[in-house]
Structure 1
Amino acid sequence: MDATLHLAQDPDADALLGRSPLAALIGMLLDQQIPMEWAFKGPRTLADRLGTDDLDAHEIAAHDPEAFAALLSEKPAVHRYPGSMAKRVQQLCQYLVEHYDGDPEGIWRDAGSGAELLRRLEALPGFGKQKAQIFLALLGKQLGVRPTGWRTAAGAYGETGSYRSVADITGPESLTRVRAHKQEMKAAAKAAKTTGSR
């Protein structure tokens, strides 16, 4: 995997995301309840604190849980909830070690279809259907992983020319468009809630 991503809006962090499947997965895992750039900068911060230029699932899985939580909690914290996210990151890495010998690319390398790849992503700790579909769309749109039917499996996130998620961010302009889409969705959800409670 060697791609140019623009999710962290930080050259070093984005370079790691583009070459390390594990960094991309961890960034996706962290992408909740905090700004997207903060989430996708997390893997680079974590690598720096581990004293490495890459991330290794075996190493993270075997790390002392308290010490690992402390790494994520150092200022600036990797996430708003560093303790619980440290646990999730370790669970993800433990799953990768157990099912893919620590190789994240094993998730998609031999996936026979988009539907199969989606099932594999949904099975990852911390990945629900929406997160799995967004990551599948990111794999297809920006990382060249395109098993048969990947767009269909990714749902709306797989649509060409859409600006719905991190899968569609290729620079500052597309980031602005994705942000605008998310604001519209929040406003629509809020309006529906208000209407429904009358």
Structure 2
Amino acid sequence: MAIQVHFAQRPEANELLGRSPLAALTGMLLDQQVPMEWAFSGPYTITERLGTGDLDAHQIAAYDPEAFAALLSEKPAVHRYPGSMAKRIQQLCQYLVDHYGGDAEAIWRDAGSGKELFKRLNALPGYGKQKAQIFVALLGKQYGVRPEGWREAAGAYGDEGSRRSVADITGPESLAEVRAFKQEAKAAAKAKK
């Protein structure tokens, strides 16, 4: 895989995200109720605390749940809710072990269509429709994974030139644009209530 990404705004975290499919999936999993760059730095922080250079689905799935939660809770915490996120990461890794032999990239390596890719991502623990659509867009726009119909499967997140999500971040300027879009969407939703 090994590509250059700019989600975490930390070179060492971005390097891991660019070469590790499991790190990218984990960053997306963590991307809720915290700033994107914090979420996408999480996989690198986990590798540092595990003392490994990469994430391994088998290792994480087999890790003692209390010890793994403690690992994510160390200061600074990997997430605002480190205990629940530790559980979700382990569930994700167990699913990958059970369904893909622990190989995260297998989710998209042989996906025959965007629809199939979306279905596979949507089935992941901790992923729902929106997260799956964003990840389809992320794969298509940043990682070059473009099965037929990927833009349609990604919904509005797949739109060319959009600034809606992490899929559109290529540096500090686009991060600011995505952040502004999210703030406007949040304000519009609040105004509706």
- TM norm structure 2: 0.99
Which entry has the higher C-alpha Rg, 1 or 2? 1
Q: Once superposed, what is the RMSD of the aligned Cα atoms?
A: 0.4
Structure 1 equivalent of residue 158 of structure 2: 158
Equivalents in 1 of 2:165, 2:92: separation in Å?
Answer: 22
User: Which residue of 1 is the match for residue 126 of structure 2?
Assistant: 126
Match of 1:69 in 2: 69
Q: Which deviations, in whole Å up to 9, do the C-alpha atoms of 1:135-191 show, x marking residues without a partner?
A: 110000000100000000000000000000000000000001001100110111111
2: CA distance, partners of 1:181 / 1:30? 20
Q: Deviations over 1:18-52 (max 9, x none)?
A: 00000000000000001111100000000000001
TM-score (normalised: structure 1): 0.97
Q: Secondary structure at the match of 2:147?
A: coil
C-alpha separation between the residues in 1 aligned to 2:132 and 2:48?
A: 27
Matched residue type, 1:25: L
Are 1:42 and 2:53 counterparts?
no
Give the partner amino acid of 2:33: Q
Amino acid in the other structure paired with 2:41: K
- Check if 1:24 corresponds to 2:24: yes
How many residues are paired up?
A: 193
Q: Which residue pairs with 1:86 in the alignment?
A: 86
| Pairwise CA distance, 1:2 | 1.0
Shift of 1:13: 0.3
Counterpart of 1:137 in structure 2 is 137
* Shift, 1:132, TM fit: 0.3
Secondary structure in structure 2 of the residue aligned to 1:140: helix
Deviations 1:82-109 (A, max 9, x none): 0000000000000000000000011011
The runs of 5 or more residues in structure 1 that have no matched partner are 194-198
